[in-house]
Structure 1
Amino acid sequence: MKKNSLFLITVSLMGSLLVAPTQAKTLEDIQASGKIVIGTDGTFPPFQYFDKGQLSGFEIDIGNEVAKRLGVTPEWKPMSFDSLLAGLNQDRWDIVIASFTVTPERAKSVHFTSPLYCTGGVIVSKKPNIKTISDLDGKTVAVQTGSIFFQKASDIPGIKQIRNFASDSDARNAMVSGRADAWLSDKFVAKLAIASQPDQGMKIGDFVTKATVASATKNGNNELSSAYDKILADIQSDGTYEKISKKWFDEDIRCM
């Protein structure tokens, strides 16, 4: 028994030495490879979504501009929202650009870049008596899994049921079809949904949260995050950011 135990311990220690911590690609590695791999959600219009089979949206335009100024080609990797930060730490992509709200909890596991835009979460419903947080008492609320809106809904007392969906669009559809009384989402997403489906009778209610949104890199990947921050500052100062923002929102959505 002692010999077998010693053998198992030795094998275990040898195995642990062979499994080295993964290392994110540095800026130099990315530029040498000629591409940057960007994780995104792809179901959150107008920020990032598929239009006729092609990724489109505000964040896609921003990411493409960042890649252009880095001198590399962007390779977008659309994945489920709740897997993106974990995938970043597994080095499945170099950066995540997917409308992540900066929170203290998330900031423990990844590095957030300079703010990309500021926004807020709102209540959306077809029912005229649902406008405020207190109106959600006894109601069913639809949200996207892993989103800040799911977290916020969990903190609101009195909600009868939280229905979480893989995509924000599915959460919206649940409210539209009557499977949920309200939908919590980003105010810009809600405005686009109402404009594109005016016959559905959706109305925006009160804010449930204010949000600062940023892209994310792996902790310790300082050269890449610094390069991203510089490019973001450059496109905000030279008018490129404003042009992209007004293309999608008719306003400048940077944090003021």
Structure 2
Amino acid sequence: MKRFKIWALLALALWAATAAQARSLDEVQKSGKIVIATEGQFPPFNYFQGAKLSGFEIEVAELVAKKMGLGVEWKALGFDALLAGLRQDRWDLVIASHGVTEERTRAVTFTAPHYCSGGAIVSLDPAIRTVADLNGKLVSVQTGTTYLENVRKLSGVKEVKNFPQDTDARSALVSRRVDAWVTDKFVAAIAINANPGAGMKLGDFVFIERIAAAVAKGNQSLAQGYNKALAEAMTDGSYAALSKKYFNEDVRCK
């Protein structure tokens, strides 16, 4: 039995040593394309227009990749699976409005942030605007997000209802199954403008956060290459043009 365990451990060690590793910047450049994963369910940042991915983050990533001399192969899947797939080296980079947190930083390496925002309160009741107003209330959020993490920290909330997609969390509010919805400020503003008859009203921030793309933990060469190209986009005006197109303001972190 001991001998079997020893051989099993040796086999596991050999597998770990030969397992696929995250592609470095040099390897990505030699292939000519970068594989990027996103959710495709978080307008205006990443969403589908028919069969084509669109949104601010999609265009930012494609702009950065072009400056790196790369084409993009897109993968779209559930938000919860994005960082897990990155750790399994199934793609090179994830861009899906991930807030930079200590917990996530232990698992992946973040690039420089491509925008700053925060989790804002949305409600049909104009009396629900502040964090204090959430006391005793039902609040909807998306699973696996910093919105869920931060709302759960609020001691006065009656119940947090989490949903697979942010649009589901919004629908819970519109159908009055919850009292408030917490989501990205820009997502909320666009949803409110696009659905004036729904009666949604934007309240205060629950928290502020920096949003960044992510690469596999320790893949500094790819992160640095991406950061250099992103900085160029922010300097030459191309980032500002995209930001104005989607938000009519510059959403970079100040």
Shorter-chain TM-score: which interval? over 0.9
Task: Report the count of equivalent residues.
Answer: 252
Partner of 1:228: 226
CA distance in 2, matches of 1:174, 1:33: 44
**Please, which moves more after superposition, 138-147 or 28-37?**
28-37
1:126-165 CA-partner distances (Å, limit 9, x unpaired): 1122111111111111000011100011001121111111
- Aligned CA RMSD, in angstroms, stands at 1.1
Within 2, Cα distance between the matches of 1:171 and 1:178?
11
Q: Distance in 2 between matches of 1:66 and 1:115?
A: 13
CA deviations over 1:96-140 (Å, ceiling 9, x no partner): 111111111111111111111111111001112211111111111
Alpha-carbon offset, residue 11 of structure 1: 2.6
Instruction: Give the match for residue 18 of structure 1.
Output: 14
TM-fit CA distance, 1:178: 0.9
Equivalent residue number for residue 138 of structure 2? 140
Alignment of 1:111 with 2:109, yes or no, is: yes
Deviation at 1:6, TM superposition (A): 3.2
Q: What residue in structure 2 maps to residue 216 of structure 1? A: 214
Q: In 1, distance between residues paired with 2:126 and 2:60?
A: 37
SS of the equivalent of 2:73 reads strand
Which residue of 243, 246, 249 maps to 1:248? 246
Alignment of 1:56-205 (within 5 A): 56-205=54-203
Q: Tell me the equivalent position of 2:5.
A: 9
Give unmatched runs, 5+ long, in structure 2. Answer: none
Amino acid at match of 1:12: A
**Structure 1 unaligned regions, length at least 5:** none
Structure 1 residue matching 2:7: 3-state secondary structure: helix
- Residue of 21, 28, 31 corresponding to 1:30: 28
Structure 1 outlier segments of 4+, above 2 Å: none
Q: What percent identity do the matched residue pairs reach?
A: 50
TM-score using structure 2 length: 0.96
- Which is worse superposed, 10-19 or 35-44? 10-19
What's the secondary structure of 1:152's corresponding residue? helix
